[in-house]
A and B are shown apart, each in its own frame.
Chain A
Amino acid sequence: MRLALREVALGMRRAPLLGMLSVTTIAFSLFAFGLFSLVALNIREALRAVESQVEIRAFVADSTSVDDVGRAMEDVATYREVERVEYVSPDQALERARQDLGEFKDVFDSAFLPGSIDIRLRDGFRDPATVKSVADRLRAFPIIEDVRYGEEWVSKLHRIRTVATVAGVTLGLAFAAVAVIVIGATIRMAVLARGPEISIMRMVGATDSFIRRPFLIDGFLKGIAGGLLALLLTWLASVLITRTFIQTEFFDATLAASGVVGGALIGLLGSAFSVNRHLRLVR
């Protein structure tokens, strides 16, 4: 282990630029992941806030009897997605509209507003697909004339989140691939620089895993450094966004730690991927 660490230090001194390039590309890879995860995370928070308010409002036809409304409500209350069902009479609707609209309340004096059944869905059933399926079932009731819910922006937020995730994963993977290539080049150089040493190690009976170890440790450490750098960059980005746009949440400890672990994995796997191939160059 000490020997391996000494080799790592030697390698850093031998090719500091290439080493830094490895760290930087790993950092960029994780930064891309991190930035878009940040977007996804914050959108998820926003969605949670929005979705907790999602109500489906089913407008009842004008001449519907109270009994029919009651029966429909009982029926709807048995849906497993539904948390609460509430009837809003035309009078209540008018009252509500007046409150909401303040100074324009006189406009509604003589206006007609239909009564509605307002439905709140349970937590976990507030995604666009479920909301739509419940709305569709409501439309099937003969007494229901129209169903409204915040369909546009809920699905818009979901779409933004999907785009952010796909973009983050794609960019992150691209940078990860570059990182692996750079690590490969670093290892190739190190292997060639240490050629005589490696052939002596082989000659005196050092095992392959022993010869490989310093390269793997090197990649691992660079990966951790890259992960930490990415975390720093992502944190700076989130601070910047909070200052200039909107309040953003940062990753919790688990997510942050998994970023660093991800860096270590890229470094380790990148090294493992190329070390055998390059060690074969030396006899």
Chain B
Amino acid sequence: MAVETVPAELAVLLRREAMLLDQRDYHGWLDLFTEDCRYWMPVDPDAADEPDTLCHVFDDHARLTDRVWRTANGAHTEDPPARTARVLGEPVHLARDADEVSCFTPFLLLYSRRGRQETFGGSYQHRAVTTPDGWRIREKRIRLIDGQSALPALTIIF
């Protein structure tokens, strides 16, 4: 069986996405998403891919826009802001459906704020679509391996 690989431009987009977040360019990051996007993190990393489950984050484009504003400008937990550094694994192609590709990317995220360091890990599941402007993200699901553990405030964007 031929194993499909993630399109090269999409792999570049994923690395660029991580860079924008680590640089705290949240508005630039938001531009990578489609208007009908979903950005979400279920409590249970193994939860089925449907919305009938409690999530730490469940955003449509409007709520994601609010989140970007809050992380960039409003939250006391980002005053002063956290720094993050993330390391992505090689994206794995999961499925192709017409103009859409889904892929799985392991991540490790180091978090530092006011002398406290945390480590978060898990995987991203992206559903991306080709548009006249290039690849855009229609869905980003975060599987946080600590999703069911006791968590500190997580107002950074994953």
Q: Do A and B bind each other?
A: no
Which residues of A does B touch, CB under 8 Å?
Answer: none
